[in-house]
A and B are shown apart, each in its own frame.
Chain A
Amino acid sequence: MFLDFFLLLKNRGLPVSLMEYLSLLEALDKGVIGRNIEEFYFLCRSTMVKHEKHLDQFDQLFGAYFKGIENISDEEIYNIPEEWLRKNGERLFSPEEMERIKAMGGLQELLERIKELFKEQNERHQGGNKWIGTGGTSPFGAYGYNPEGIRIGQDGSRHRRAVKVWDKRDFKDLKDNVELETRNMKMVLKRLRRITREGSEEELDLNRTIKKTSENAGFLDIHMLPKKRNSVKVLLLLDVGGSMDDHIDLCSRLFSAAKYEFKHLDSYYFHNCIYESLWKDNARRWEESISTFDVLHKYNSDYKVIFVGDAAMSPYEITMQHGSVEHYNKESGATWLNRFKEKFPNLVWINPIREDLWDYTHSIKMIKSFTGDMMFPLTIGGITDAIKALK
């Protein structure tokens, strides 16, 4: 049962294992949920999904699968034998529900109504019926036919079920698509760490304990000290698109590995130069951008800011209003860069272009002087220098 659905989740990269599949079956077997597709969805979600970043993908796959991948012809749906409906209807409906059915004019009337509804339904609902068609013996086949199902059609707005829960995709924002992890990169990033002893005291200070205990005539006098921790906070701003295409893979891998190294790391994207908006997910930059003012406001000035970009652009893109290649910017890039400089005293620019070529591009020189010569090449040595400068 539902093996295909499980395999679909697995193939689409959702981290599900046999254990989850078996728990789902066991839960169904134990009758944890009522016969209702919504509850089935809730149960699937609880068993299969282990992190909120996967919820959105799960919702999409659930929607796609239970919408019915193969299309079933209309005739097939209209021609469900009345006998089957009657028999299963009686088996599945509770006495109260039967009462309600009677109030609606009896089962016959109800069946007529169902057929009408089928004809009115849009494609999405028809897909749902695939369930009934293929799963005549499955208890889930019954959803469409219980009074609740009818009610959906009648006053969808009151129960607000017109949109299926999983189709709402409430969890979109929790997705995390950044690819990470390269061990070499992580090793380099270790250089960015700043180890401090802060917080609660939890390690035994051996030397001091021995000294104090002897002073205490052999009675124990224990002394502790805080653990070593990495306390650096990093705000990362990555240039994407255009001339950065050659380097972006390297840059993003390098710094997404940083996620594991730093407790406080946030990253945003920009194109060529900073203007009034930034974005978190490059694929959705036009739909979901964030005002640069919000970013300036959100992070305290003890954040270390690292720009990553080739700084290769037309000088107008930095100095002029409306200079951006992509849109009419009200304020010049330089204005925005200065706002960053004022807010964050610890700021560096890391450039993937070879250092000896920097002097040939005017805009690189401009950006370099703006950062106060805090521009470093994207090499081990360059990063080491940048980190030193950040400290």
Chain B
Amino acid sequence: MNFEGTSTYIAARDLQVAVNAAIAMQKPLLVKGEPGTGKTLLAHEVAKALGKRLFTWHIKSTTKAQQGLYEYDAVSRLRDSQLGDDKVSDIANYIVKGKLWEAFDADEQVVLLIDEIDKADIEFPNDLLLELDKMEFFCYELNKTIKAKQRPIVIITSNNEKELPDAFLRRCFFHYISFPDRDTLSKIVEVHYPSLEQKLMSEAMNVFYNLRNVRGLKKKPSTSELIDWIKLLMVGKINETELKAAHQQGQIPLIGAVIKNEQDLALLQKHNSVNLRR
């Protein structure tokens, strides 16, 4: 079992090593990196490459660790009791399984993605220590231990909005996806748009890397923005000469796909007009 990227996902060698090590060691893999470098996509591609089912647990600011295990829907039980429903006598009817439980329940090994763990409360990762370590937890209402039939491959992504606790980090493998270099990036684009003309691609990459080098941008455009932008260029039938001409005049066609807020746009205009005057 070895992950080497897929036909639609280019994984750098260091990422492959990290994924394979985490799989072999049966430890969760924590993935960080700039937004848009394919953190979430990684789990999808690992599942696809290894032919495994994927369970996704999206974390929000309100998510509690318990929700990943199970929830006891006491409110509907109370309601049913008031309405005299027979279901009330069996508490199991009101235990709602979470993503972790579902993944543990699967007969074959699955991939479990815990997406954007940093969005949750600061104590959230600590509440999952034992669950991720032992891959089991105790359900008080049913008075039984739920244990993973097959240890799932766990991939956790973080956008660094909060620091994660040390005890949690100790249990994970860590990988930081750095922004791809030019070669890797052209490979990624090629995977997405195999029919793209070489000249247009190299011109687009020029524009894109120049853009990333503008200092002070709030959000640097990343891989996913580049891919969207190239798609638009193709749909708009813009060829490399037009792109080049526009770029030399300090304009970027369809810039909305790469620059996502008005302050950056203003900064860019200032930057370009300065460059033109030179």
Complex CA distance for A33 and B18, rounded to whole angstroms:
10
Q: What mask results when residues 166 to 188 of chain B are scored 1 for a CB within 8 Å of chain A, else 0?
A: 10011011111010000000000
Within 8 A of B (CB), among A25-75: 26-27, 30, 32-33, 38-39, 42-43, 45-47, 49-52, 55
Q: Find residues 1-18 in chain B having any chain A CB closer than 8 Å to their own CB.
A: 13-14, 17-18
Complex Cα distance, B271 from A291, in Å, reads: 13
Residues of A with C-beta under 8 A to B14: 42, 45-46, 165
B41 at the interface (CB under 8 A from A): no
Bound-complex Cα distance A240 to B173 (A): 39
CB contact between A294 and one of B30, B82, B216 (< 8 Å): that residue? B216
Candidates A39, A219, A297; contact of B263 at CB < 8 Å: A297
Contact partner, A32, options B17, B169, B267, Cβ 8 Å = B17
Q: How far is the CB of A3 from chain B (nearest CB, A)?
A: 19
A199-B173 CB under 8 A given contacts A32-B21, A39-B17:
no
Contact A200 B61 (CB under 8 A): yes
Q: How large is the interface on B (under 10, 10 to 19, 20 to 34, 35 or more residues)?
A: 35 or more
Closest-CB distance, B75 to chain A (whole angstroms): 6
Is the CB–CB distance between B172 and A23 below 8 Å? no
B96 within 8 Å of A (CB atoms): no
Other-chain residue from A32, A38, A49 in contact with B174 (beta carbon distance below 8 A) = A49
* B62 partner, pick from A45, A55, A202, A218, beta carbons under 8 A: A202
Binds B, one of A13-21, A102-110, A338-346, A368-376: A13-21
Within 8 A of B (CB), among A354-389: none
> Any chain B CB within 8 A of the CB of A195?
no
Asked whether A170 is an interface residue with its Cβ less than 8 Å from the other chain, the reply is yes
Q: Are A220 and B61 in contact (CB-based, < 8 A)?
A: no
B32 within 8 A of A: yes
B33's nearest neighbour on chain A, judged by CB, is A52
B78 part of interface (Cβ distance < 8 Å): yes
Using known A-B contacts A42-B17, A200-B61, determine if residue A27 contacts B25 with beta carbons closer than 8 Å: yes
Cβ–Cβ < 8 Å partners of B172 in chain A = 50
**Distance between Cα atoms of A7 and B154 in the complex (Å):** 29
Once A30-B25, A50-B172, A294-B216 are accepted as A-B contacts, the answer to whether A43 and B78 lie under 8 Å apart by CB is no
**Which of B25, B166, B263 is the most central at the interface, judged by chain A CB atoms within 10 Å of its CB?**
B25
Q: B174 and A50: CB pair below 8 A?
A: yes
Name the distance in Å between A350's Cβ and chain B's nearest Cβ: 26
| B22 CB–A CB distance under 8 Å | yes
Q: Report yes or no: A32 in contact with B20, Cβ–Cβ below 8 A.
A: yes
Nearest residue (CB) in B for A38 is B13
Chain A 200-234 interface 0/1 with B at a Cβ cutoff of 8 Å (1 = within): 10100000000000000011101000000000000
A298 within 8 A of B: yes
Q: Are A291 and B216 in contact (CB under 8 A)?
A: yes
Q: Quick check: B17 and A200 within 8 Å, CB to CB? A: no
**Interface size on A (CB < 8 Å)?**
39
Chain B residues within 8 Å of A46, by CB = 14, 17-18, 21-22, 173-175
* B216 and A171 contacting across the interface, CB-CB below 8 Å: no
- Known interface pairs A15-B166, A46-B18, A219-B82; A291-B27 also in contact (CB < 8 Å): no
User: Which of these, A15, A23, A38, contacts B25 with CB under 8 Å?
Assistant: A23
Is B218's beta carbon under 8 Å from chain A? yes
Known: A15-B166, A294-B215. A52 touches B18 (CB 8 A): no
Residues of B within 8 A of A297 (CB): 216, 263, 267
The reply to whether A222 and B24 form a contact with Cβ atoms under 8 Å apart is no
Known: A52-B32, A291-B216. A42 touches B25 (CB 8 A): no
User: By the criterion CB–CB under 8 Å, are A43 and B17 in contact?
Assistant: yes
B58 at the interface (CB under 8 A from A): no
Cα distance, A374 to B111, chains bound together (Å): 56
Q: Which residues of A contact B25 (CB under 8 A)?
A: 23, 26-27, 30, 32
Q: Please give, as numbers and ranges, the residues of chain A lying within 8 Å of B32 by CB-CB distance.
A: 52
B87 within 8 A of A: no
Q: Does A55 contact B21, Cβ atoms closer than 8 Å?
A: no
Q: Output the least CB separation between B80 and chain A (Å).
A: 12
Q: Is B199 an interface residue (CB 8 A)?
A: no
Do residues A30 and B176 form an inter-chain contact, with CB atoms below 8 A?
Answer: no
B212 within 8 A of A: no
Q: How far is the CA of A27 from the CA of B21 in the complex (A)?
A: 6
Smallest Cβ-Cβ distance to B183: which chain A residue: A160
From 109 to 133 in chain A, residues with beta carbon under 8 angstroms from any chain B beta carbon are none
Contact A47 B82 (CB under 8 A): no
Minimum CB–CB distance for B213 against chain A, Å: 14
**Residue of A whose beta carbon sits closest to that of B166:** A15
CB proximity of A265 to chain B, nearest CB, Å = 13
Asked if B79 is at the interface of the complex by the 8 Å CB criterion, the answer is yes
Within the assembled complex, what's the spacing in Å between the Cα atoms of A202 and B27? 32
- A52 — which chain B residues lie within 8 A by C-beta? 32, 160, 176
A202-B63 Cα distance, complex, nearest whole Å: 10
CB within 8 Å of B: which A287-334 residues: 290-291, 293-294, 297-298
When chains A and B are docked, how far (Å) is the Cα of A298 from the Cα of B79? 52
Q: CA separation between A38 and B16, bound complex, in Å?
A: 12
* 13 interchain pairs, CB-CB under 8 A: A15-B166, A23-B27, A30-B24, A30-B25, A32-B20, A32-B24, A46-B18, A47-B21, A49-B174, A52-B176, A219-B82, A291-B215, A297-B263
Residues of A whose CB lies within 8 Å of any CB of B are 15, 17, 19-20, 23, 26-27, 30, 32-33, 38-39, 42-43, 45-47, 49-52, 55, 165, 170-171, 174, 199-200, 202, 218-220, 222, 290-291, 293-294, 297-298
Q: A33-B21, A47-B21 are in contact. List 18 more A-B contacts (CB 8 A).
A: A19-B170, A20-B170, A23-B25, A26-B25, A27-B25, A32-B21, A32-B24, A32-B25, A39-B13, A43-B18, A50-B166, A50-B169, A51-B163, A55-B176, A200-B61, A291-B215, A294-B215, A298-B218
Nearest 3 interchain pairs by C-beta: A294-B216, A50-B169, A42-B17
